[in-house]
Structure 1
């Protein structure tokens, strides 16, 4: 199977409210030899306010983000989707991508009326190179040089790893440069820690993960928080009741099992609800870092032996009532999910119905005028909001006045209302002023000053536009 290494540059970190502005990917064969590459950029959508930290991190001036010669976000995502489909099936890999880049892609696909789960369907698999690197260093420290950060701790930032290992990464935070650095690190792990690489490839496949965790008498699960690995010997106790298809619950094997079993139901619920509690949850479709116990270095077993851990694991697995009790207590201690009022936060709130999926597919094949009819017939309110937004941004003139006004109100609310979910113009201005006061390097100051001037102009224009719309109900479009 081929690999697809990818990266995104975005306007910020708010999934659903920020946008991708640069996507890049390299396709390789099974031996990580490059066979194709692709990248696409787009201009800023009128309702998106970039975070000033993203502007300085990516080094992209606001004039470039607003270049009318660039494709629209919708056009870019159509290109990205087409390329990923062309490269399907593949193992799709990014650096810290499962938690961020893939989520940004899923939101972008959903908001442009596409299937958001493209990277995990159609026999695609996925993995995260950050977890791979951390696991490789823990298993075979000599395979990579890991530098120390400013606090004297190991840092796994991509830019720092590339520099420490003499990899070409002259344009850090450029999507294609980051893809190249990620691919180079994976080649080093493949050569220097081949067993870790093989497990990474194996467990990029959801079915392989499900089979492994169900059949093993215990295994090592390595989780990552704040770029720190946290390995735990665990055994599967059941599926997450809320996400049975992909969520799995495991019990740590290095605990006092007799003490846990003796707890009352209420006490058990409280213990399992603790952040670092004995139950660990992971998704089988998210490329988890798993290691058979017989392959785990002794230093990661916390003084226990493999035989001892497997004995505890078999005791747990053989007690179906105990497993059911643990799952029930864990589920009872969870904070109930609250449905967001913002459709941008509800990408994962269920699938559209079959009829809506057909309308969603037809949307891209018809003209703008016919798209209006399709949007009005969506049963899923999320698709209706996003479809109306796409039409407004693509060809406002085809919308009836009432629908155009609805879209304008929603888009301008996003720019100025704190309750709208995203970063507002005034909040961005305050943060820009704060960063300017601390900035000492001239390139950074220049980026921030240009962005500040743009924000001031946008605030003035949007305020005037909303005033005019309220007073005259004219049909002027949202100012770009």
Structure 2
């Protein structure tokens, strides 16, 4: 099995609401020899408002994002899916991709009426090159040097790691050069630390990860927060449940489980709830950053792990405690109200077989056929996305009344803050705040975006005033 090394550039970080504007991927064989590559760009969707910081980071002007000669987002996503499918089964690798790029890709597929989980389909694997960088630097003879940020803290940002190790292959925040840089990083580790690379690839196999988590009494789980790593000695506690069959709950062995077991159910639930609490979550199908306790470097500060091993033994002999934590965890998620925004409902449930067949038909249908398919879709999420696609691609397929209703919905979305997508007024405020704070405005990119926002706001307001 080979690899697909990929990267995305987006209009922002708000998964479900922002969009991919550039995608690049490199196909390699099992030895990381390049077989093929491609790069695609698209123009801005009518309902998406880019975040000013994203435009600054990606060096993208609003004129470039709205270039009518570029493919639509739907056309780009369709091409991405076709090209990746042509490459066959592979392990998909990006840099910080599990938490971001893959989520953006899933949302792009779903909102374009394609099955969302191409990278985790049977026979494929997923891995995150940021994890292999962490593992390589944890070796007694590391093959990578981790740089420090402006605050003197270790940083895992790709551009900084690449510069510190001499394999930058182009400007940062460009999908094609970032994919090439990620491939160079993988080649460096595979050649200089083959055992690290082998462990990294095994983590892409969810069955192997599930077996390790279940069988190893104590292991290190590394988690990333803003490109900073946190390392914890943990032990498997319980499966996450039917809502997430790939999820595993683990216990941070810095906390005494015997003391927690003496708590009442409500107190235990409160202890387990915080994101920085003793209950840690991992997904066996998401290539978690796991290190054996005996491989952990001294600077991680674990020292004698005898107490951790004793607590792990207590957990194993008291499975009822894990069941209580799992029940409290399930209740916490069960009580969470569903999002009112269709863009945040990707993981609510899978489309039915009936709707999946209609999704496939949609892509081959005429504009009239697509209009008819919308009425047949049972899933309201899919109806919303199909309606949006038709509105953007084939306005003539609508009646006058339907077209005016869709235009009204779009104008309200762009102007009215509903605690979801970025609006035109909010983006304008962000630009003002950035410029006041001294943000560098290379080539007047932010000022140009501000002028475009002003024109679009006036048009949207004028339309609603006449509606």
- Per mean C-alpha deviation after superposition, the further-off stretch among 320-329 and 358-367 is 320-329
Using the TM superposition, give the Cα deviation of residue 317 of structure 1 relative to its aligned residue in structure 2, in angstroms: 2.2
- Distance in 1 of aligned mates of 2:432 and 2:255: 50
- Distance in 2 of aligned mates of 1:278 and 1:436: 41
Q: Relative to 1, partners in 2 of residues 1:257 and 1:428: Cα closer, same or farther, differing over 3 Å?
A: closer
User: Is the 8 Å Cα contact of residues 24 and 40 (structure 2) preserved in structure 1?
Assistant: yes
Q: Deviations over 1:100-151 (max 9, x none)?
A: 1111111111110001111111321111111221222123463112111111
Using the TM superposition, give the Cα deviation of residue 279 of structure 1 relative to its aligned residue in structure 2, in angstroms: 1.6
- Distance in 1 of aligned mates of 2:94 and 2:316: 34
User: Is the 8 Å Cα contact of residues 88 and 123 (structure 1) preserved in structure 2?
Assistant: no
- Distance in 2 of aligned mates of 1:12 and 1:298: 37
- Distance in 2 of aligned mates of 1:208 and 1:7: 26
Using the TM superposition, give the Cα deviation of residue 439 of structure 1 relative to its aligned residue in structure 2, in angstroms: 4.4
Using the TM superposition, give the Cα deviation of residue 347 of structure 1 relative to its aligned residue in structure 2, in angstroms: 1.2
- Aligned pair count? 467
- Per mean C-alpha deviation after superposition, the further-off stretch among 289-298 and 188-197 is 289-298
Counting only pairs closer than 5 Å after superposition, residues 409-448 of structure 1 correspond to structure 2 as 409-419=408-418, 421-439=420-438, 441=440, 444=442, 446-448=444-446
1:264 corresponds to: 264
Task: Please say if 1:275 is aligned against 2:263.
Answer: no
- Distance in 1 of aligned mates of 2:334 and 2:353: 31
1:225 corresponds to: 225
Give SS of 1:26's match: strand
1:347 corresponds to: 346
1:153 corresponds to: 153
1:463 corresponds to: 461
- Distance in 2 of aligned mates of 1:204 and 1:407: 43
Q: Relative to 1, partners in 2 of residues 1:458 and 1:142: Cα closer, same or farther, differing over 3 Å?
A: same
Using the TM superposition, give the Cα deviation of residue 40 of structure 1 relative to its aligned residue in structure 2, in angstroms: 0.6
- Per mean C-alpha deviation after superposition, the further-off stretch among 326-335 and 2-11 is 326-335
Using the TM superposition, give the Cα deviation of residue 300 of structure 1 relative to its aligned residue in structure 2, in angstroms: 4.1
- Distance in 2 of aligned mates of 1:335 and 1:78: 35
1:326 corresponds to: 325
Counting only pairs closer than 5 Å after superposition, residues 376-391 of structure 1 correspond to structure 2 as 376-391=375-390
Q: Relative to 1, partners in 2 of residues 1:284 and 1:418: Cα closer, same or farther, differing over 3 Å?
A: same
Q: Relative to 1, partners in 2 of residues 1:340 and 1:264: Cα closer, same or farther, differing over 3 Å?
A: closer
1:86 corresponds to: 86
- Distance in 1 of aligned mates of 2:427 and 2:364: 37
2:70 corresponds to: 70
- Per mean C-alpha deviation after superposition, the further-off stretch among 322-331 and 154-163 is 322-331
**TM-score normalised by length of structure 2:** 0.94
User: Is the 8 Å Cα contact of residues 5 and 94 (structure 1) preserved in structure 2?
Assistant: yes
Give SS of 2:83's match: helix
Q: Deviations over 1:287-317 (max 9, x none)?
A: 1011233433455462334x66445434422
Give SS of 2:71's match: coil
Using the TM superposition, give the Cα deviation of residue 161 of structure 1 relative to its aligned residue in structure 2, in angstroms: 1.2
Q: Deviations over 1:56-106 (max 9, x none)?
A: 111111111111101010000000011111123111111111111111111
User: Is the 8 Å Cα contact of residues 411 and 461 (structure 2) preserved in structure 1?
Assistant: no
Report the RMSD for the aligned CA atoms in angstroms.
2.0
- Distance in 2 of aligned mates of 1:270 and 1:156: 32
Query: Displaced runs of 4+ in structure 1, greater than 6 A?
Result: none
Using the TM superposition, give the Cα deviation of residue 32 of structure 1 relative to its aligned residue in structure 2, in angstroms: 1.3
Give SS of 1:419's match: coil
Task: Please say if 1:394 is aligned against 2:393.
Answer: yes
- Distance in 1 of aligned mates of 2:141 and 2:277: 29
Q: Relative to 1, partners in 2 of residues 1:335 and 1:303: Cα closer, same or farther, differing over 3 Å?
A: farther
User: Is the 8 Å Cα contact of residues 169 and 177 (structure 1) preserved in structure 2?
Assistant: yes
Counting only pairs closer than 5 Å after superposition, residues 168-317 of structure 1 correspond to structure 2 as 168-241=168-241, 243-297=243-297, 300=300, 302-305=302-305, 309-317=308-316
User: Is the 8 Å Cα contact of residues 374 and 386 (structure 2) preserved in structure 1?
Assistant: yes
**TM-score normalised by length of structure 1:** 0.92
- Distance in 2 of aligned mates of 1:60 and 1:105: 20
- Per mean C-alpha deviation after superposition, the further-off stretch among 265-274 and 346-355 is 265-274
Give SS of 1:418's match: coil
User: Is the 8 Å Cα contact of residues 9 and 175 (structure 2) preserved in structure 1?
Assistant: yes
Using the TM superposition, give the Cα deviation of residue 456 of structure 1 relative to its aligned residue in structure 2, in angstroms: 1.4
- Distance in 1 of aligned mates of 2:257 and 2:16: 41
User: Is the 8 Å Cα contact of residues 436 and 449 (structure 1) preserved in structure 2?
Assistant: no
Give SS of 2:418's match: helix
- Distance in 2 of aligned mates of 1:396 and 1:240: 45
Q: Deviations over 1:300-342 (max 9, x none)?
A: 462334x664454344223332321232244445683221111
- Distance in 1 of aligned mates of 2:185 and 2:465: 54
Task: Please say if 1:34 is aligned against 2:40.
Answer: no
Give SS of 2:290's match: strand
Give SS of 1:347's match: coil
Q: Deviations over 1:135-186 (max 9, x none)?
A: 2212346311211111111121111111111123331111101111111112
User: Is the 8 Å Cα contact of residues 136 and 142 (structure 2) preserved in structure 1?
Assistant: no
- Which consecutive residues of structure 2, in runs of 5 or more, have no partner in the other structure? none
